[in-house]
Amino acid sequence: MMSAMSLELINTPQQAQVRQATQDCIVRAASLFERKFFMPPVQFDLSGRAAGQYRVLRGEAAIRYNPWIFARYFEDNLNETVPHEVAHFVVDQLWGLRRVRAHGAEWRSVMRALGAEPHVTARYDLTGLPVRRQRRFPYRCACQTHQLTSCRHNRVQRGEARYHCRQCGEALVREEP
């Protein structure tokens, strides 16, 4: 048993097991939805707080797993993160990513069809693991200061999003440094 404070990566036999579980999940989905799905590349290059990620980059789909989180919580991730990411892949193949919400009704139905509970996040102790921290930017409303992540800040700067305070409902405005 690995200690909670160890900093180890998922080993090669475990990677093979995760790849096989991913493939089995995709085969099960193909049978359930009577569709043929290709096997996207499975990578163990994710860092940060997320255990897994399905992404399409320049038209190429991939399922990425966090090797540190998988090493520490292997069984849990094998049973929960693998179907979670496969469900995103299946939703993309059936409906397209732009037409549905990330964890919307379609994703939840695919999760249930795969025999998994549609949980969005897991709460793991990440002490000692490399995690990515996003820069935060101060924004104000009528009642308080908010800290927006760099992703949200960039969306505001590009005019793609506006955020509002949950307390007063006023639009958030960048606080100049």
As a whole number, mean pLDDT of residues 23-40 equals 98
Other beta carbons within 10 Å of 73: 20
Choose between 157 and 7: higher pLDDT: 157
- Name which of 28, 30, 33, 54 is nearest 43 in CA terms: 54
Start-end of CATH 3.30.2010 domains in the chain: 12-113
> Which one-letter DSSP state was computed for residue 2?
-
Q: Is 85 tagged catalytic?
A: yes
> In this predicted structure, what is the pLDDT of residue 132?
67
**Nearest alpha carbon to residue 92 among 119, 49, 65, 60:** 60
- Please name the fold of domain 12-113: Zincin-like (3.30.2010)
pLDDT digits (tens, 9 = 90+) for 109-163: 999 999 999 988 778 887 877 766 678 999 999 999 999 998 999 999 999 999 9
pLDDT of 5: 47
CB 142 within 8 A of CB 168: yes
Over residues 49-60, the pLDDT tens digits come to 899 999 999 999
Rounded Cα gap, residues 141 and 139, in angstroms: 7
Which tens digits make up the pLDDT trace of 64-90? 999 999 999 999 999 999 999 999 999
User: Which residue is catalytic, options 34, 75, 80, 85?
Assistant: 85
pLDDT one-digit tens code per residue, 89-109: 999 999 998 889 999 999 999
